[in-house]
Amino acid sequence: MSETFQNFIDGKWVPARSGKTFENRNPANQDELVGAFPDSDESDVNAAVAAARRAYESWRLVPAPKRAEIVRRAASLLEAQKEDLARLMTREMGKVLAETRGDVQEAIDCGFFAAGEGRRLYGDTAPSEMPNKAAYSVRMPVGVCAMITPWNFPMAIPSWKIFPALVCGNTVVFKPATDTPASAAKFVGVLAEAGAPDGVINFLTGGGREVGAPLAAHPDVRVVSFTGSSEVGRVLARECGTRLKRLSLELGGKNAQIVMEDANLDLALEGVLWGAFGTTGQRCTATSRLILHRPIAGVFLERLVEAARALKVGDGLDPSTQVGPLVNEGQRETTASYVEIGKKEGAELVCGGEPVKGPGFDRGFFYRPTVFAKVRPNMRLAREEIFGPVLSVLTVDSFEEAIHVQNDTPYGLSSSIYTQDVNRAMRAIRDIEAGITYVNGPTIGAEVHMPFGGVKDTGNGHREASHTVLDIFTEWKTVYIDYSGKLQRAQIDNH
Ligand code: NAD
C-alpha cells in the first residue's frame, strides 16, 4: 500500500514545481513501494522560505503560551496515531517496531516538554548599577529556521528541532532525509491539523544538494539546525560561516562502552547488545567500540559472540525480530567495506561479517551482527564511524588505559562505563571526553528533558533537547529602562 506525498508550503500540500518525484521502498523488501515524493529544487526552496518569512511577522507576535498550545495539540495527535506512525516508520526505514514506537514516543515527549516552555522561556532580571533604572533580559525569536535531518530517527530528531523552534516564535522550513520522507510528512500533517497557521511550518522533500544546500544558503534563513554526517556538517559550517548565520550541528559518533573487571557482566552484556545492534547500529549514539578490562576480556568476549550470533535478524514488523535491515544498499555496502578494512588491518572477525541470505532476506538490506576482536586504537575500525551493526572490541590493562582509549577518537558524543566502584565511576564521568556519559547503562537512551549533543567533531557546542535547545532558537535581548529622568552614564557617573 503506497501513497503519493506532497510538499507543504504556506499551508497547502503541493507537488514540486518541476512535477518531478522520487520513490521510496521498504528496506526489508524492495518490492514494496512506500510512497512517491516531490523531487524538489531551489524554486521550491524559494517559495517555502518566502512563505515562512511572511508568516514570521505575525507568528512572532502570538503569545508564547498560545504558540505552545498548538505544539501540545500536535503531541496529543501523535499520541493518538502512535501505532500507525510506528508501523509506517518501520516500513520506511527498517528498525524494529518497538524502536519505531519509541521514536514516535520521543516526539510526543518532546512536544509536551517544549509546550511547557511556552509558559517559561525565562530571562533574567538584575539590579542596575544606576539608581532609578531597571535591567532585564528576554528571549526573542530569531526568524526563519532551516531544519535538515537524517533518516535514523525520522520523527524524534525533527521534533527536537521543530517543536521548540515554534514555541520560541520562529517559522520553519523542514527538509528530511530522502530515506524517510513519509514519517516526516506525517509529522508536518499533525502540526497543520493542530492549527499551525499558514507558512509557520513548511516542508520540502528532495536531495541534500538540490534542497538542503540552497535552503541553508538562503539569505532569509537565519538559523540552520542540522543533524547528520560530519562531512555535510563541515560543508554547512563553511557556508554558514561566511554568511555569519547561526548553525547548530549534531554529527557523528564513535561511542565506546568500557567494562571493568568489577562490573556486573550480565548487565554489561545486555547493555552492549542493545547499544551495538539496536537500530542495526545506525544510531549516532550506537556502541561502536567495546573496551574490555583484560581480567574479564576472554570470558566476556565468548559470551558476547554467543549472544550476538543468537540475535534474530529480519523484518522489523515481525515482533520476534531483534535486528532489522540497514536503511539502504549504500549503508550495507559501507558496513561491508568496513568489514574488509578490519580484516586487512589485522583485526579478528569473530562473528557475522556478511549479509544474511536465503528466503525472506533476498529483497532486503540485512546484515549479520558483527564483532571484531583484537582491535587496536589506531585502526580505522576503532576511529571511524561505521553506522552499521559492527562492534570493535579492544582490550586494556588498566582503568587509566580504558579512559585513554575511550578518548582516542575524533568524536565525543556518548560513552558508557560498567563498574561497581563509585570512585572509578566518578573519575570516568570527569575524564571522559563526551557530551553524554552513562554509568552501568549502554551508550544509547537519551531523554528529551536532558541536554543532548557532543564534543570534538560531534558538533559545534550546541545542545538540543532540555531547556538548552532554547539557546539555538532564540536571541537574547537585554532591556534597560531608565526612569531617573536624566542621562546616567554607566561606569562613569557612579565612580
Ligand atoms: P547525511 O549527512 O548524509 O544527511 C543528513 C541530511 O543532510 C539529509 O537530509 C541530507 O539530504 C542532507 N544533506 C546532504 N548533503 C547536503 C548538503 N550539501 N547541504 C545540505 N544538506 C545536505 O547523514 P545521514 O546519512 O542522513 O545520517 C547519518 C549521519 O547522521 C551519521 O553520521 C550519524 O552519526 C549522524 N547523526 C547524528 C546525530 C546526532 O544527534 N549527533 C543523530 C542522528 C544521526
Catalytic residue among 145, 240, 284, 351: 284
Q: Kindly state if the Cβ of 253 falls inside 6 Å of ligand 1.
A: yes
Q: Sort strands 29-38 and 21-26 into parallel, antiparallel or unpaired.
A: antiparallel
Ligand 1 midpoint to CA 150 (Å): 5
- Strands of the sheet containing 474-482, edge to edge, are 125-127, 133-141, 474-482
Cα distance between residue 89 and residue 205, in whole Å: 16
Residue type, 267: L
Of 50, 328, 279, nearest to 153 by C-alpha is 279
Residue nearest to atom 43 of ligand 1 (CA): 284
For a mutational test of ligand 1's pocket, the pick from 152, 153, 387, i.e. the residue with the most ligand atoms closer than 8 A to its C-beta, is 152
**For 19, what's the count of Cα atoms within 13 Å in the CB-facing half-sphere?**
0
- Whether the Cβ atoms of residue 52 and residue 28 lie closer than 8 Å to each other: no
Q: Kindly state if the Cβ of 460 falls inside 6 Å of ligand 1.
A: no
Which letter, b or e, does each residue of 167-179 get, where b requires 16 or more Cβ atoms within 10 Å of its Cβ? Answer: bbbbbbbbbbbbb
**Architecture in CATH for domain 255-439:** 3-Layer(aba) Sandwich (3.40)
List the grid coordinates of 229: 554526517
Catalytic residue among 99, 117, 210, 250: 250
Q: CATH 3.40.309.10 in the chain: give the residue spans.
A: 255-439
Q: Sort strands 255-259 and 414-418 into parallel, antiparallel or unpaired.
A: parallel
- Whether the Cβ atoms of residue 251 and residue 232 lie closer than 8 Å to each other: no
CA 469 to each of CA 114, 116, 224, 371, 462: distance values in angstroms, whole numbers, following the listed order: 10, 13, 13, 36, 8
pLDDT of residue 365: 98
CA 276 to each of CA 279, 282, 356: distance values in angstroms, whole numbers, following the listed order: 8, 9, 18
3-state SS, residue 115: helix
- Whether the Cβ atoms of residue 211 and residue 44 lie closer than 8 Å to each other: yes
Q: CATH 3.40.605.10 in the chain: give the residue spans.
A: 3-251+459-478
pLDDT of residue 2: 80
69 is catalytic: no
CB count within 10 Å of CB 357 equals: 9
CATH numeric code, 3-251+459-478: 3.40.605.10
Cα distance between residue 458 and residue 435, in whole Å: 9
Task: Provide φ and ψ at 390, rounded to 5°.
Answer: -125, 120
Q: What is the DSSP string of 165-228?
A: HHHTT-EEEEE--TT-HHHHHHHHHHHHHTTPPTTTEEE--S-IIIIIHHHHH-TTEEEEEEES
Alpha-carbon torsion angle 339, 340, 344, 350, nearest 10: 40
Cα distance between residue 332 and residue 366, in whole Å: 8
Please list the pLDDT of the chain residue by residue as tens digits (495 residues).
688 999 999 999 999 999 999 999 999 999 999 999 999 999 999 999 999 999 999 999 999 999 999 999 999 999 999 999 999 999 999 999 999 999 999 999 999 999 999 999 999 999 999 999 999 999 999 999 999 999 999 999 999 999 999 999 999 999 999 999 999 999 999 999 999 999 999 999 999 999 999 999 999 999 999 999 999 999 999 999 999 999 999 999 999 999 999 999 999 999 999 999 999 999 999 999 999 999 999 999 999 999 999 999 999 999 999 999 999 999 999 999 999 999 999 999 999 999 999 998 999 999 999 999 999 999 999 999 999 999 999 999 999 999 999 999 999 999 999 999 999 999 999 999 999 999 999 999 999 999 999 999 999 999 999 999 999 999 999 999 999 999 999 999 989
Task: Provide φ and ψ at 254, rounded to 5°.
Answer: -145, 65
- Whether the Cβ atoms of residue 327 and residue 94 lie closer than 8 Å to each other: yes
Ligand 1 midpoint to CA 362 (Å): 27
Cα distance between residue 50 and residue 198, in whole Å: 12
3-state SS, residue 1: coil
447 is catalytic: no
Cα distance between residue 463 and residue 470, in whole Å: 9
Residue 323 is classified by DSSP as: B
What DSSP element (H or E) covers 31? strand 29-38
Cα distance between residue 398 and residue 400, in whole Å: 5
Place of cell 532489522: 324
- Whether the Cβ atoms of residue 171 and residue 147 lie closer than 8 Å to each other: no
Burial degree of 489 (CB within 10 A; 0-12, 13-18, 19+): exposed
CA 170 to each of CA 111, 282, 416: distance values in angstroms, whole numbers, following the listed order: 16, 31, 36
Q: Kindly state if the Cβ of 208 falls inside 6 Å of ligand 1.
A: yes
Rounded to 10°, the helix 422-431/399-407 angle is: 30
CA 173 to each of CA 166, 217, 368, 393: distance values in angstroms, whole numbers, following the listed order: 11, 13, 38, 42
Ligand 1 midpoint to CA 184 (Å): 15
Atom of ligand 1 minimally distant from the CA of 207 = 11
Residue type, 454: G
Q: Kindly state if the Cβ of 387 falls inside 6 Å of ligand 1.
A: yes
Cα distance between residue 373 and residue 350, in whole Å: 7
